[in-house]
Amino acid sequence: MNRKILLLLALTPFALNAQNVVTDTDIDDDEIEVLDEEGDGEEFDFPEALVDNNLDSLMNLYMSRTYLSTDGGCQPLKENPTFTREEYIDRLSRMPTVMEMPYNDVVRSCIDLYMVRLRRQVSFMLGASNFYMPIFEEALDAYQLPLELKYLPIIESALNPNAYSHAGACGLWQFILSTAKMYNLEVNSLVDERRDPVKSSYAAAHFLSDLYKIFGDWNLVIAAYNCGPENVNRAIRRSGERDYWKIYPYLPKETRGYVPAFIAANYAMNYYCEHGICPLASKLPAKTDTVMVTKNVSFQTIADATGLSLDMIRSLNSVYRRDMVPGLTKPSPLRLPLAEISKFIDKEDSIYAMASRQVFKRTEVEIEDRPVVSKQPTKRERTRTTTTRGGKNSKNVRGAKNTRRGKSTGGGKNAKGGKNSYVTVKKGDTLSSIAKRSGTTVAKLKKINGMSGNTIRSGKKIRVK
């Protein structure tokens, strides 16, 4: 569930630049208030990843636990320093960006959110960014896009490659399924390339490039990345404008906080020192490489063969959803530390042999029969049967033969010339228990009795031979 942020501002294109702002930072985790002199305002959503417990998920990732630690050489400040409006404007103007980074009250409220309530998150994401920023920059550069877009995953996923949103978006760049398919990311029961940092980054760069061809304005591109180009076009038609800050009131609630949050993320990642925030120290993992796997191999088998931990294998291969490389479908890449690649290649035949003995073969399973529910016979059924002194149904009063169908309802001969045998279903019987007593199988019972399901009724006769 998205948490709400209350921006108590007159949200018109003119009021966004009001100079007199009172910011209340001593508030609970669910809202932030910014007041103008008139006390007017509106409620809107802040990006889900930044306020929905994604920090805990990020901290529990193997890479974060293993390679991020406190930097003893940096002493964080307990409180956020106070700066003037002019200082914020100057810092935003000096950032090395080609995208517009304006200052207004909405942007200021988002900066305060990062630098006050989310100080620990910023520290953690600064450390985690060492894993991912080189990948993001390479993908963006391949499409000749502004490199400051590398901070989009901060507000999309808080740099958690396994993040899922309430809307079903997944991965660092938070692709929904339909968009992922459009940009050739494979998603099925075993593979989800939205969780692959490299492939998803190139798909995101391609998507952003296409959006810029449509809108020609980076603020509109970022807004469209969040809510879809159709919502941005709708806001443009309603406002008659093509400037983000003028179509702002016509956008969905979360998108109104999205572009300001992006500007604030750029500010936070560049000016954290001025606010007394210390990044976690990071030690990049060993170099990695890939080997193509042509069989279905479980992560546990790989761990046993290479000596790596399951957490390490999962972290390097987050694209696979079931702790298995599905190489039998098509050759699939397995990413391992460079030193372990040769171990895997040396033991490849034995690894495949071990994998073939495990649970990946498709086998038929027998669905457990539903137990028989005792049912009282109807009046019509009672008139059709006679009873012996022992109380057991012994004979159908319609006779032993059904002359209309020419088939025997009692004894008779089967197709092989042997005598047919029948049993009467008792309360608690199942096809399995009857088959076991009769020395046959459930499949044979269903076949000779023309049954499609597993349900049998107490008192009914079924053929066992």
Residues recognised as catalytic: 156
Taking Cα atoms as reference points, which of 264, 266, 259 lies closest to residue 117?
264
Tokens of 346: 């040396």
Q: Which residue has the tokens 């019972």?
A: 445
Q: Which residue has the tokens 């001025």?
A: 274
Q: What's the rounded Cα separation, in Å, for the pair 323 and 339?
A: 21
Taking Cα atoms as reference points, which of 230, 235, 254 lies closest to residue 245?
235
Taking Cα atoms as reference points, which of 227, 174, 230 lies closest to residue 203?
174
Q: What's the rounded Cα separation, in Å, for the pair 447 and 368?
A: 17
Q: What's the rounded Cα separation, in Å, for the pair 91 and 227?
A: 29
61: left (phi over 0), alpha (psi -120 to 50) or beta: beta
Angle, alpha carbons 353-331-293 (nearest 5°): 40
- Do 321 and 104 touch, CB atoms closer than 8 A? no
Angle, alpha carbons 313-359-315 (nearest 5°): 10
The helix (H) or strand (E) run that includes residue 35 is: strand 33-35
Residue 110 identity (one-letter amino acid)? C
Taking Cα atoms as reference points, which of 310, 331, 223, 271 lies closest to residue 87?
271
